[in-house]
Chains A and B, each alone.
Chain A
């Protein structure tokens, strides 16, 4: 069965220079197991193909059922240099929650 990540998790994203930070939080423990398994560095990098031009770093915050990703080279130079409408990556958490997952 396929589900959308947005059905089991929420999150928030922002900027750190030219990198975007994307934090994803599962609504329950079962959801956290699913996101831990599916949101690997490789899968996230592939999902953001054409958006994230650099490396992806992944961190776990198990107490709050969250994963944090740093997407390097993503914001068109970042800050005031970026020409992007979403120069601060504010909508990228929602973009990751578009991912479809097989469970």
Chain B
């Protein structure tokens, strides 16, 4: 058994720093590169792409990225694990195989985890007694079944562990939990068992720290943010994991950013609910047991973690088509910028009303004034703000109404309040709302499968 392994985060979401994975594999020693590409919204985007072209539906940056990092990873024996396969992991693997051939790589094994896609099995699942009730509203999936675009089960670390046991150099998954990507190599290398709840929870929390990339190493840091050195060359976090479940979170020395008690603590509380009950397919981790200790600059020990047995359910992420939105904006300058923006909003709404358009919601925001903090924003005693951007958005089922809204923004330039600018890029176009439907499914109703692609 290895004494320790180094797992490096290479991507916090699809759209993150393009060079980060390359930097992680070249700027110092690591054993695993893990890349999280899938936010809940991302699955909807990928599904839209696959609907247009059945060969797409995965993070399209991956083949280009592989062209850069594969030669390095093969030379240094770095394994790559990513959920960037999205809704089409097999197509992603095929695209990587093409890259490997182009690079004249002689030997390579890619494992693809499938079985998470249950969109075509919804009827069977319902007849097996699971209504995939919405976790927030309690409603049955039947309500949106006809407008369903995707339905994917969140798998955990175990299918990736199986892939690693089969000798995979690269593991591509669909909807795998972000935390499972980091936990899997620890289970594989240290021989942790499915009943080692504390260890599994430790690896899960390690995964939570790594899953948002630079957000654990000085990015989006609300503490003493101006003290973070060299964000130009930010080093993404690396977990040095040990067989006893302890970890040291660090980064490559030559890179910027900062790993401290504070930067890790902020990431620990990010997007969690009840900290004693962090449910994953692998275990239930207890975040209240985490201890952090700064060993030296940019090395934070994470230890003391406890956890419990996993539940009998997988989480399911479904998306369904739910109308259209459109959003347009205009910028007004001093003098009376705020008043101008508010008057323009009134004029716009008057015109929309006269057109008898149908929306479920119209929302107007004053960016530069109170769009973020609403009633908590400091009120202006007089309207002397330098400039403000009026942003108006609509949502509704009627495509024509939403489309027509987009034609009513630009006319305000010549037919509304003065000193207005910032209308570029043409009329705002309706975009389809792909809404999210979270549900649970008994584990026994689905089965992860591993497929091997080999050179």
Contact = CB atoms under 8 A, between A and B. Distances in A.
B274 interface: yes
B376 interface: yes
B267 A12 contact: yes
Contacts of A68: 269, 272-273, 275
Contacts of B393: 83
B372 A91 contact: yes
A25 B266 contact: yes
A17 B136 contact: yes
Contacts of A62: 288
A83 B395 CA distance: 7
Interface in A63-103: 63-66, 68, 70, 76, 78-81, 83-86, 91, 93-95, 97-98
Contacts of A84: 363, 365
A78 B325 contact: no
Query: Mostly helix, strand, loop or mixed at chain B's interface?
Result: mixed
A80 B371 contact: no
A59 B373 contact: no
Contacts of B267: 12
Nearest to B268: A64
Q: Which 10 A-B pairs have the closest CB atoms?
A: A23-B269, A10-B223, A83-B393, A83-B363, A14-B271, A91-B372, A12-B266, A50-B375, A85-B371, A95-B373
Contacts of A10: 221-223, 262, 266
A81 B435 contact: yes
Contact-residue size bin, chain A (C-beta under 8 Å from the other chain): 35 or more
A67 B304 CA distance: 19
Interface of B: 40-41, 44, 136, 215, 220-223, 261-262, 265-276, 287-292, 304, 322, 325, 327, 361, 363, 365, 367, 371-376, 391, 393-395, 433-436, 438
A62 to B, nearest CB: 7
A80 B271 contact: no
B223 A51 contact: no
A59 B287 CA distance: 11
14 contacts: A10-B222, A12-B266, A12-B267, A17-B438, A21-B272, A27-B262, A47-B376, A57-B273, A61-B275, A79-B436, A80-B433, A81-B322, A81-B435, A83-B394
Contacts of B436: 17, 78-81
Interface of A: 10-18, 21, 23-25, 27, 47-51, 57, 59-66, 68, 70, 76, 78-81, 83-86, 91, 93-95, 97-98
A83 B269 contact: no
Contact of A63 (B41, B291, B367, B375): B291
Contact of B273 (A16, A18, A63): A16
Given A47-B376, A61-B275, 12 more contacts: A10-B221, A10-B262, A17-B436, A23-B268, A25-B269, A27-B262, A63-B291, A64-B265, A84-B363, A86-B371, A86-B372, A91-B373
A34 B136 CA distance: 33
A83 B372 contact: no
B274 A59 contact: yes
Nearest to B290: A63
Contacts of A97: 222
A83 B361 contact: yes
Contacts of B220: 12
B249 to A, nearest CB: 13
Given A79-B41, A81-B435, A83-B394, A18 B136 contact: yes
B280 to A, nearest CB: 15
User: Looking at A47, A85, A86, which has the most chain B CB atoms within 10 Å of its CB?
Assistant: A85
A13 B365 CA distance: 20
Nearest to B269: A23
A59 B289 CA distance: 13
User: Looking at A10, A16, A49, A83, which has the most chain B CB atoms within 10 Å of its CB?
Assistant: A83
B269 A11 contact: yes
